[in-house]
Structure 1
């Protein structure tokens, strides 16, 4: 497990994966996204997660993302890579590929499609740790995407105690269970075990009750805003933290712009993030991975208006 000096903290956005009109990885746009994030003051980057559409990409595309980001970041901040798949063997293969590219840490869900028992989740992460060797692994708690499986706090804490997990990215949306995890960590004396929230909307509150940082999809668009929240909470300026959180709460309304009667929630949310980055000149094309449906011109215009309201244009 990382020492306390190495513990993950701060703002670590989960990168989108820019695509060309032909659905190839747009490496030039990806390089600009890295620059956008580093300029915003992030303390790490996370590729090939939910926002990165990692499960939609081919192995070759995944490797392109990994190699491009590791090269562009050039050691300035840690690079975390998703190892998200239906089985331990498949996730392990993703870990091997990520290590080959030179990433600094792995983020892995429990297996999905087949239902899993807590004992099987523990076996899964233990095997992945043996594949990763000395590279830290963070558990990714996102029940909505893995068949409703919630990672039990007791299992996470025990795996942290054994040095198998370096921490948890909690995207469960369940603030009570997140707070319990923070308390359980304290009771276990696991000071080096990082707890990160995946929520865009309650970052100020979560930081206040003890999480170490945030992995916000909206951070693709406005990383500096989330950095201001983190810095304000660290400085004890709760009023500033709340103002920034309120502004970003309103900016998050971009995910509600797309017509849900013609596309799914993922297309609407990831499409909104990509459209915003397109309008800001960070990426060249706002397409999401096939078969996701792109936003239309009217929806793109509305997102432009929300960016202006948030002071980003």
Structure 2
């Protein structure tokens, strides 16, 4: 289906349920899609960071896209990450994700080699020329070690290369520059600016953002849909209270012991443990080499869910 221009609302970056053998758990993935769509989300984003795309094989990535597109069945648009180190490799991902029916692709700047802003611009333009669907930029400097300037994003929006931005940079000032620049630029229409933060959705929407792509929305999609609607209704006191409840719930990402695991293991492990405890997925396994949560850590996730009224 065609994505709206701009794309607005809550767009969960869908977790990828795995079996104990670390294969894609298709029945759990379809239950997760139903869990999200029933909550009223506006689109689904697969093969991003919360999907563990960097840990999946190309075969597994394709299975995820095919499964979600088929099960969503046009109920909501499906965006797919086309994330890799170089332009030719990204174009390969664009080909198979759009062939599987993705409605848009989400693309980072190139990584591994250091890139110049001119090379980042060329990367996005070459991809947009070859992509049969809209291209959104994915600003995630923690993973790709570079951050496109707001001026570059606005230039690519103005010439029609980019249809939107998912901003996971944590740079609120830069985010604001893009939101205000897109609103005031005469050549930019229908450009979607989405925050990737779980913690400042109300602030981002108050700045003029179009929506949010929060990983925690896998666990509590109803909460983020409620938050979005409160913001759009201008009920900022109720929105702040809902955002604060979600911020407290987000504390689950810190349950993992940093002496034995990284933040990715702790965060994604917590999301999957929460989905398992809520009965949405069959197994909380994360992809190798991430370290699984212990029984005690999983019990702490359950306490966060109970405090948020989700258990």
RMSD: 1.3
The verdict on how the C-alpha distance between 1:5 and 1:298 changes in structure 2, with shifts beyond 3 A counting, is closer
Residues 17-69 of structure 1 deviation map (CA, whole Å, 9 limit, x = unaligned): 10000010000000000001001110000000001011211111111101100
State the match for 1:206 in structure 2: 204
Unaligned runs of 5+ in 1: none
- Distance in 2, matches of 1:25 and 1:68, equals 10
- Displacement of 1:4 in angstroms is 10
- Distance in 2, matches of 1:57 and 1:155, equals 30
Residues 108-138 of structure 1 deviation map (CA, whole Å, 9 limit, x = unaligned): 00010101110000000011112213x1000
State the match for 1:123 in structure 2: 122
Say whether residues 1:154 and 2:151 are aligned partners.
yes
Q: Secondary structure at the match of 2:147?
A: coil
State the match for 1:283 in structure 2: 281
Say whether residues 1:239 and 2:237 are aligned partners.
yes
Counterpart selection for 2:190 from 189, 192, 195? 192
| TM-score computed with the length of structure 1 as normaliser | 0.97
- Distance in 1, matches of 2:101 and 2:174, equals 33
Counterpart selection for 2:163 from 148, 151, 166? 166
Counterpart selection for 1:145 from 132, 143, 149? 143
- Distance in 2, matches of 1:186 and 1:303, equals 40
Moved over 6 A (4+): none
- Displacement of 1:220 in angstroms is 0.6
Unaligned runs of 5+ in 2: none
- Distance in 2, matches of 1:166 and 1:126, equals 12
| TM-score computed with the length of structure 2 as normaliser | 0.98
The verdict on how the C-alpha distance between 1:28 and 1:153 changes in structure 2, with shifts beyond 3 A counting, is same
- Distance in 2, matches of 1:224 and 1:131, equals 36
- Displacement of 1:6 in angstroms is 3.2
- Whether the 8 Å CA contact 1:4–1:192 is kept in 2: the answer is no
Q: How many pairs were matched up?
A: 310
State the match for 1:66 in structure 2: 65
- Distance in 2, matches of 1:248 and 1:286, equals 21
State the match for 2:104 in structure 1: 105
- Distance in 2, matches of 1:210 and 1:117, equals 29
Counterpart selection for 1:218 from 189, 192, 216? 216
Q: Secondary structure at the match of 1:106?
A: strand
- Whether the 8 Å CA contact 1:171–1:197 is kept in 2: the answer is yes
Q: Secondary structure at the match of 1:293?
A: coil
- Distance in 1, matches of 2:207 and 2:239, equals 14
